[in-house]
Chains A and B, each alone.
Chain A
Amino acid sequence: MEPTEKASTIKVLDFTEYPGPRYKEQGDHSGELFYEKVLKPEFDLILKKSQDSGSLHTLIVNLDDTAGYASSFLDESFGNLAYDYSETVVKKHLKLITKQEPDWNDMIFDETLPEWDQKKKKGIPRKPQLLN
């Protein structure tokens, strides 16, 4: 999807060329860090714009041109969005560019978002107790 005036695009490549593991303590440029530093602030901004203007604003995240991903990096980044804002809200305001690995799009929208939404609804902590 090409950006319109109602969409903002961010690239994971601007965060790092070498996306790392799930948690910060496991290595550099983790999914957890990407969520906290980039994804959550950008998503907040999109929601604010939608609220202020009364029209739909979308965040487009470009996953291409990095070295690649562990599924856990993507699961932790985008899953936390669903945990904090719900699957419905995220699906409404999020689009992905994944030309190099189209399977990531399916994994995030069909598995990660519903699973994290369910986790929140069941009151399960976002991070296993052992790792907190």
Chain B
Amino acid sequence: MKKLTTKRKNYLRRRSKTELKKKKRDRQFRLNKIGTNSYLNQLSFQRKNIAKENKKPGSTIINLSPANTFSILESPNKVIAFIFRLKSYAKPNFSGYQLFIDLANVIQIDIGAISLLLSAVEELAQYKIRVTGNIPDNKNCNEIFIESGYLAHMNSLSSNLLKLQNNTKNSIIKKGRDTTRNSEVGKSIQSAMEMLTGTKKHYQPVYSIVQEISGNSVEHAYQRNSREHWVFSVNHNESENKIIFTFADNGSGILKTLRRKLTQQFFDGLGLKNDAAILNGAYLKNYESRHIGQINRNKGLPLLRRIQENNEVKNLFVLTNRVLLFLDSKKSISINRNFSGTFYYWELDLDCIQNGTN
């Protein structure tokens, strides 16, 4: 074997030092990407951007934290304010950014808020924005978050979180863009019925709801050939033996669509003075189709109202633009920030099934 010269030995020593420094630097960058303390490194997730070429080191990282009460049922305005902030980055000029969603301090969370979060993350991914984050410290919130199935839609999880995520069995999430994916939705509902009753079977009222609202979403997506998508989720609340369904899309929203074709003068003529009354009118078939002469249209939203009135589902509410409207009580909440899209929430228990199958 040829003996190394002193010059060669010095070169190799220098190179190994440089390599070591480079390795250290890379490792530090990886750690910075997923968090700032050891807890985050143990329990973190990320939703990668779609295009690999945007994985450039050193891109801007923005930390975002919701209010401690991250619950659509308890604090809709706080949740929407956070979603609004998150979605404000869904623009081409933020492509390549990294958003870190810090949920560590959340002390109250619900499925509705998690579904909205997932829908927003999906939208960000379409703009090639990487989303990373952590999960709540609070034990109860931590369990709800893991059970929600949200993490199954992140591209990578820290090893500890991966173990926890693999144990979830009570949730299903389906996503779509330009088609209704009826067969997958139908099978999800059958599985939900199995969670609730022990028997895998159809439940027509819930299938009708999802078909109506996903049909609306894809019709608009198809027409505008845009980045619109929908997210449907099913969650079994074992302690109360009920299923929570949510559906979110990132379209314009019902009110914005109505206002595009009808004037305030028209609504005033019907005595509808505010957004809640105008939105409620859509569920009462007060307006004609936006397609001129298509008098056969607009049966879907009144059907949702009828299903709720027949108690075939319960607590059905819609959140769109600046209104949250409960279809059972007709009560509404004004939302400070515009929610660009439509979000539905409803529950199903054994009493509803009895009403819906008799």
CB B210 to nearest CB in A, in angstroms, measures 9
Report Cα–Cα, A65/B201, bound state, in Å.
Answer: 10
With a cutoff of 8 Å between Cβ atoms, the chain B residues found around residue A75 in the complex are 296-297, 299
Report Cα–Cα, A19/B182, bound state, in Å.
Answer: 7
Residue among A25, A29, A68, A69 with most chain B CB within 10 A = A68
Question: Which residue of A is nearest B289, CB measured?
Answer: A128
The answer to the question of B202 belonging to the interface, with a C-beta cut-off of 8 Å to chain A, is yes
With a cutoff of 8 Å between Cβ atoms, the chain B residues found around residue A26 in the complex are 178-180, 215, 218-219, 222
Q: Are B181 and A27 in contact (CB under 8 A)?
A: yes
A21 and B208 contact, Cβ closer than 8 Å, known pairs A71-B300, A112-B296: no
The answer to the question of A107 belonging to the interface, with a C-beta cut-off of 8 Å to chain B, is yes
With a cutoff of 8 Å between Cβ atoms, the chain A residues found around residue B293 in the complex are 119, 122, 124
Chain B positions 203 through 221: 1 when the CB is less than 8 Å from some CB of chain A, otherwise 0:
1111110011011001100
Interface of A is mostly: loop
With a cutoff of 8 Å between Cβ atoms, the chain A residues found around residue B357 in the complex are 100
Q: Are B299 and A18 in contact (CB under 8 A)?
A: no
Q: Are B306 and A28 in contact (CB under 8 A)?
A: no
Residues of A in contact with B, size category: 35 or more
Q: Are B215 and A70 in contact (CB under 8 A)?
A: yes
Contact of B208 among A17, A68, A124 (CB under 8 A): A68
Q: Are A68 and B295 in contact (CB under 8 A)?
A: no
With a cutoff of 8 Å between Cβ atoms, the chain B residues found around residue A29 in the complex are 182-183
The answer to the question of B186 belonging to the interface, with a C-beta cut-off of 8 Å to chain A, is yes
The answer to the question of A44 belonging to the interface, with a C-beta cut-off of 8 Å to chain B, is no
Contact of A119 among B212, B296, B303 (CB under 8 A): B296
Query: A residues 87-103 with Cβ under 8 Å of B?
Result: 100-101, 103
The answer to the question of A105 belonging to the interface, with a C-beta cut-off of 8 Å to chain B, is no
Q: Are B204 and A67 in contact (CB under 8 A)?
A: yes
Q: Are B294 and A20 in contact (CB under 8 A)?
A: no
Chain A positions 6 through 50: 1 when the CB is less than 8 Å from some CB of chain B, otherwise 0:
000000000001111111011111000000000000000000000
With a cutoff of 8 Å between Cβ atoms, the chain A residues found around residue B190 in the complex are 67
Q: Are A20 and B180 in contact (CB under 8 A)?
A: yes
Report Cα–Cα, A19/B292, bound state, in Å.
Answer: 27
Question: Which residue of B is nearest A65, CB measured?
Answer: B202
Q: Are B204 and A69 in contact (CB under 8 A)?
A: yes
Residue among B214, B218, B299 with most chain A CB within 10 A = B299
Question: Which residue of B is nearest A124, CB measured?
Answer: B293
Report Cα–Cα, A100/B205, bound state, in Å.
Answer: 10
Report Cα–Cα, A31/B19, bound state, in Å.
Answer: 64
Chain B positions 127 through 160: 1 when the CB is less than 8 Å from some CB of chain A, otherwise 0:
0000000000000000000000000000000000
Q: Are A111 and B299 in contact (CB under 8 A)?
A: yes
With a cutoff of 8 Å between Cβ atoms, the chain B residues found around residue A107 in the complex are 299
The answer to the question of B5 belonging to the interface, with a C-beta cut-off of 8 Å to chain A, is no
Report Cα–Cα, A124/B204, bound state, in Å.
Answer: 32
The answer to the question of A72 belonging to the interface, with a C-beta cut-off of 8 Å to chain B, is yes
Q: Are A18 and B215 in contact (CB under 8 A)?
A: no
Question: Which residue of B is nearest A31, CB measured?
Answer: B215
With a cutoff of 8 Å between Cβ atoms, the chain A residues found around residue B196 in the complex are none
With a cutoff of 8 Å between Cβ atoms, the chain B residues found around residue A23 in the complex are 219
Query: B residues 267-302 with Cβ under 8 Å of A?
Result: 291-297, 299-300
Question: Which residue of A is nearest B215, CB measured?
Answer: A21
With a cutoff of 8 Å between Cβ atoms, the chain A residues found around residue B295 in the complex are 115, 118-119, 124
Q: Are A73 and B211 in contact (CB under 8 A)?
A: yes
Query: A residues 116-132 with Cβ under 8 Å of B?
Result: 116, 118-119, 122, 124, 128, 130-131
The answer to the question of B223 belonging to the interface, with a C-beta cut-off of 8 Å to chain A, is yes
With a cutoff of 8 Å between Cβ atoms, the chain B residues found around residue A19 in the complex are 182, 211
CB B351 to nearest CB in A, in angstroms, measures 18
Q: Are A20 and B211 in contact (CB under 8 A)?
A: yes
Question: Which residue of A is nearest B184, CB measured?
Answer: A18
Q: Write 27 A-B pairs (CB below 8 A) sorted by A numbering.
A: A18-B183, A21-B179, A21-B182, A21-B215, A23-B219, A25-B222, A26-B180, A27-B182, A27-B215, A27-B218, A29-B182, A67-B186, A67-B189, A67-B204, A68-B186, A68-B205, A69-B211, A70-B300, A75-B297, A79-B296, A100-B204, A100-B357, A111-B299, A119-B294, A119-B295, A128-B291, A128-B292
The answer to the question of A86 belonging to the interface, with a C-beta cut-off of 8 Å to chain B, is no
CB A130 to nearest CB in B, in angstroms, measures 6
Q: Are B207 and A68 in contact (CB under 8 A)?
A: yes
